[in-house]
Amino acid sequence: MRNRFIRSLTVAAAALVACTGIASAEWPEKPITFVVPYSPGGGFDAYVRAVAPEMEKILGTEVVVENIPGAGGQKGASTVYRSDPDGYTIGIWNVPGLTVPQLLGKSTGYDLTDVTWIGNLATSNYALAVKADSPFNSLKELCSQGKPFKHSDTGPASTSSVTARVAMTLIDCPIQNVTGYKGSTDTIIGLMRGEVDATIKPLAQLLKYRKSGDVKILMTFEETRSAEDIPTSTELGYPDFANFDLRRIVGGPPGIPADIQEKLSAALLQAADAPSVQEWAASSNNALDPVGAEEASAIMQRLMDFYGSYKDVLAQ
Amino acid sequence: MGFDVLIDSMVSVFSSGSAIYVLLGVLLGLCFGVIPGLGGTTALALLIPVTFSMEALDAMYLAGGVMGATSFGGSITAILLNTPGTAPNAATTFDGYPLARQGKAGLAIGASATASALGGLIGLVTLLFVIPVARSVVLAFGPAEFFLLTMLGLVAIAVSSRGKLLRGLIAGGFGLMLAFVGTDTVSGELRFTLDTDYLWDGIPLVPTLTGMFAISQMIELGLKGGSVAGAVGDARQKISGVWDGVKAVFVHWPVLLRGSAIGTIIGAVPGLGGTVAAFMAYSSTVQSSRDPESFGKGNIVGVIAPESANNAKDGGSLVPTVAFGIPGSAETALFLGILVLHGIDPGPSILLDNQQEVYGLIVALTLSAVGASIIGLMFSRWLVLITYVNVHVLVPVVVTVSLTGVYVLDGKPGDVILAMIMGIVGYMMLRFDYPRLTLVIALVLGETAERSFHQTQMISDNDMLGFMAGRPQSLILIALTVLTLLLPALRRIRIAR
Amino acid sequence: MSDIDLVPEKIRSLWPPVILMLLSAAFTAWAQRYGDTPRLMPTLAGVATTVLALLDLLSRFDNRLGAGLRLALGADFRNREMTHDPAVAREAGQIGWMVACVVAMLVIGILPAIPLFITLYMRFWGRQPWIPSLIAAFVVLGFVSVVFEVLLDYTLYRGVLFDPKGFHAW
């Protein structure tokens, strides 16, 4: 274990030497900081801690995971955004968790349109679930019960709340969001307690509760089936629903030189393919969906436009 | 039943040599517990990256060792310096510190060690019995009950303020106001943030507690000078009394049982935590005592009640975890985080899929609860010497170490500033005799109270009372709250006659 | 009334409840800027506290109403937590030292601030000899560096002056 104080002194010295220009040929020549905008022990943290050791091996430099929690992930995001674009600070971003505040003008210190995207690490699809013994068997039944159906959520800005509200607006389905649950698991417990009629949550998480016989999944929000026996939204005639997902996407401050961006992106993809990471993903049920820099940037642009067209719904 | 699995786990801890991780955890937990500003949550958060390279089961042993030991560790400073080492020990200061000032610190530490160990064991045994029905227990309690529980907690403030009812309520009111700072969890709207993103997530608890209890107390001690035990007794008396403290717990076994029961129940409610559990145990003990006036002046029962609740809450906080893989406390949330990091996916079938890890944690907690107390008792004669150290040595040491601890939890310089502001506010409260603990309890309860109130409104279609009337579990809590309010009044009337 | 005379003038002065009343009233007014849901609970707590602070104020008057309130609401000062009564100048000095410690930690970083504060506080506020002051300072520094920097590999705050991120880290 190296003493970080000495290390940060050398880092400071190196920064002084290198401040005239970024010597990208020898990159990387110092440790890389990988920012997680949440406290240790969460999903984003686990993903980063799984790939960081592999990236370390590939890049040949230390990759330090730093948790900067606060303001719903915005504190960490703005820290990454404001850091020097030398490739030594990158972070993992929650999309659309960070997209929506930006669209509503409630974000501080970052702008997703000019972040240097390095790659997508994972994508979670959503699914609609009801209690195992619920009388409802389809979205249509939920929508046509004569009053808004109750949906459980953590807060109006959460990704699943955004998904639920925008999706239901698309098909003119009345919905009442019961917010304030302490976490996404808690929203499922709320569903099981019978406090709400249905909930829209990441499919992987709901599958666990289906396995234990607690919930019934009515449909997934995707184009092709990932679970054999659950119909997709596209099949059921809601083609737009496949746009909704939760992305764990890696990016750095605006203006990282293209060659460094490429190196980082390659390292991220290679790390995601490493046996140790694959094994972790399989056993912990945390699916990976590695996508390179170029495609990630395109996805971000598409999502920005998509959510941007529902600004008025989001503002409610 | 899980007892056979438990015995298997117990055997494997010792045969595999993993007991060393438990011991390491206990020592770390004691150390972090003793130091104000550092607690179990901080210890576990710091350990998460370290456990990455360990086996999942060894990480559980380490985590369990830490969790079980911090609350007893925290009682040591609570008794000796009137400065709770961890927030849940705040209620222990009420009677523990007066005992220390009377030169009876040994008695208090003996009682605290024994009550912690036994309380922890009672909590875990209860957990083992609850495991088969844990799912229905968790599902029976919804937002309506959480709201009523917070009301019960606020009422407990009113009745236990030891002759400071009015100022206790005012402090509680300010605690609530502080709790409402930051993002409103229900509507997502930002409130009272002074335009700084530091306050978006609300007023952080650990810096506030450290400021309120540790910094303010150090300001007071620094002004008083001398040493804590002052001129009381000579240096040789200090060691005695430890065994009397141990015995006192057995003599007052109903207090121990009640404290443990309250700790287990409150521990199982996500979001309330040990501070509320210990406080409720203390207040219910004061209330049911024949001699409520003796509390706050060094009644040993006032140490036993909160300390037993304090450790019993660990067992309780695992009830939601074994039922659905959801955390019952900040510590269990981190414990689940360690599992994710090791490629384990906590969920509703955690008890089937990850039996080894869950029971490993329970075993570690059991060993830790007992082990920490034994270690504490062994060192108690030296620990007590702290009360004879000149406060001008203690003050700068405690201040610097606890401020460091505040920084370490989240790595935010703002937390250090907040801790100091709260320290000065806390000193003002001490000076003008407004109870600090009621502010802190209200701060903890406020968020849950508000959240569950609005949730109950929404799920009952704005017919909260009708909704509660249809739920027996709600009615029981309402009855308990009314009883808590009326008992002291009834007693006062009886005394007046 | 005799029950109130035993308490120092400073403690039972009218200022604390007046300040608290103003604070909670201001908080209540502030809450009205927000929507229906986010302001409901803050308003309730604010109004209740304002009323309680008013009662606190009234209970401090040396008349029958005050005495009645003290008895009925438990507003006397019989069980004071802090019984000694330091002079204001000393209080200000003590708090000043504490604030200086925080400022030092934030400006020059936690590790240098620890020995500096402990030594100076013990020597000049606590009037301890130099040697024990230095010993205490370096024992704590050693403990903190070993536990956090070495064992847990955690970087303690380096201070605005030395942190490459400067104020951005806040």
Q: Is the pLDDT of residue A2 over 70?
A: no
pLDDT attached to residue A15: 46
Chain C nearest CA to B156, separation (Å): 15
Average pLDDT over residues A41-68: 87
pTM of the entire structure?
Answer: 0.88
- Number of folded domains that form chain B: 1
Q: Do A5 and C155 touch (CB under 8 A)?
A: yes
What whole-number distance in Å separates Cα of residue C123 and Cα of residue C117? 10
Domains A28-123+245-314 and A125-243 share a fold: yes
Mean pLDDT taken over chain B: 87
Q: A9-23, A114-128, B199-213, C137-151 — which is least confidently predicted?
A: A9-23
Percent of chain A with pLDDT over 70: 91
pLDDT at C3: 52
Contact C168 A82 (CB under 8 A): yes
Closest residue in B to C70 (Cα) is: B166
* pLDDT, tens digit (0-9, with 9 covering 90-100), for A149-186: 999 988 887 888 888 988 998 889 999 999 888 878 88
One of 3.40.640.10, 3.40.50.2000, 3.90.1640.30, 3.40.190.150 is the CATH number of A28-123+245-314, namely 3.40.190.150
Q: Is C1 on the interface with B (CB under 8 A)?
A: no
For residue B230, pLDDT beyond 70: no
Which residues of chain A from 86 to 105 reach within 8 Å of chain B, CB to CB? none
pLDDT for B268-296, tens place per residue?
A: 888 788 889 999 999 889 888 888 888 88
Kindly tell me the sign of the dihedral angle through the C-alpha atoms of B453, B454, B460, B464.
positive
pLDDT at B328: 83
Q: What is the mean pLDDT of residues B295-305?
A: 91
Q: Are B381 and B42 in contact (CB under 8 A)?
A: no
Q: Please state, in angstroms and rounded to a whole number, the distance separating the CA atoms of residues A132 and B348.
A: 14
A11 to chain C: which residues are within 8 Å by CB? 164
What are phi and psi for residue B18, nearest 5 degrees?
-75, -10
Task: Identify the residue among C36, C141, C150 best suited for mutation to test binding to A, counting A beta carbons within 10 A and taking the highest.
Answer: C150
Mutate to test the interface with B, among A279, A284, A314 (most CBs of B within 10 A): A284
Sorted by where each begins, the domain ranges of chain A are: 28-123+245-314, 125-243
CA distances from B222 to A310, B207, C92, C93 (A): 59, 20, 12, 10
| Cβ contacts of A193 on chain B, cutoff 8 Å | 139, 142
For B489, the token pair is: 């009044």
Give yes or no for residue A12 having a pLDDT over 60: no
Residue C6 has pLDDT above 70, yes or no: no
SS (H, E, C) chain B: CCHHHHHHHHHHHHHCCCHHHHHHHHHHHHHHHHCCCCCHHHHHHHHHHHHCCCCHHHHHHHHHHHHHHHHHHHHHHHHHHCCCCCHHHHHHHHHHHHHHHCCCHHHHHHHHHHHHHHHHHHHHHHHHHHHHHHHHHHHHCCHHHHHHHHHHHHHHHHHCCCCCHHHHHHHHHHHHHHHCCEECCCCCCEECCCCCHHHCCCCCHHHHHHHHHHHHHHHHHHHHCCCCCCCCCCCCHHHCCHHHHHHHHHHCHHHHHHHHHHHHHHHHCCCCHHHHHHHHHHHHHHHHCCCHHHCCCCCCHHHHHHHHHHHHHHHHHCHHHHHHCCCCCHHHHHHHHHHHHCCCCCCCCHHHHCHHHHHHHHHHHHHHHHHHHHHHHHHHHHHHHHHHCCHHHHHHHHHHHHHHHHHHHHCCHHHHHHHHHHHHHHHHHHHCCCCHHHHHHHHHHHHHHHHHHHHHHHHCCCCHHHHHHCCHHHHHHHHHHHHHHHHHHHHHHHHHC
Q: Do C150 and A3 touch (CB under 8 A)?
A: yes
Whether residue B416 and residue C106 make contact (CB cut-off 8 A), yes or no, is yes
* Mean pLDDT calculated for residue range A65-82: 85
Nearest C-alpha neighbor of B309 from the set B374, B250, B353, B265: B265
Reported as a pLDDT band with limits 50, 70 and 90, residue A136 is very high
The pLDDT of residue A194 is above 80: yes
- B23 to chain C nearest CA, in Å? 16
Q: Which of B182-186, C9-13, C43-47 is predicted most confidently? A: C43-47
Class of domain A125-243: alpha beta
Give me the residue label for tokens 């993002």. Answer: B183
pLDDT at residue B187 greater than cutoff 90 = no
Q: Is the Cβ pair B197, A286 closer than 8 Å?
A: no
Inter-chain contact C24–B173, Cβ cutoff 8 Å?
Answer: yes
Which has the higher per-residue pLDDT, B418 or B42? B418
Q: What percent of chain B has pLDDT over 90?
A: 45
- Tell me the shortest Cα–Cα distance from A9 to chain C, in angstroms: 9
The mean-pLDDT minimum among A233-247, B218-232, B463-477, C33-47 falls in B218-232
Going by pLDDT thresholds of 50, 70 and 90, the confidence category of residue A30 is confident
Question: Residue range B229-240: average pLDDT?
Answer: 54
pLDDT of residue B370 exceeding 50: yes
Domain range enclosing B32: 3-496
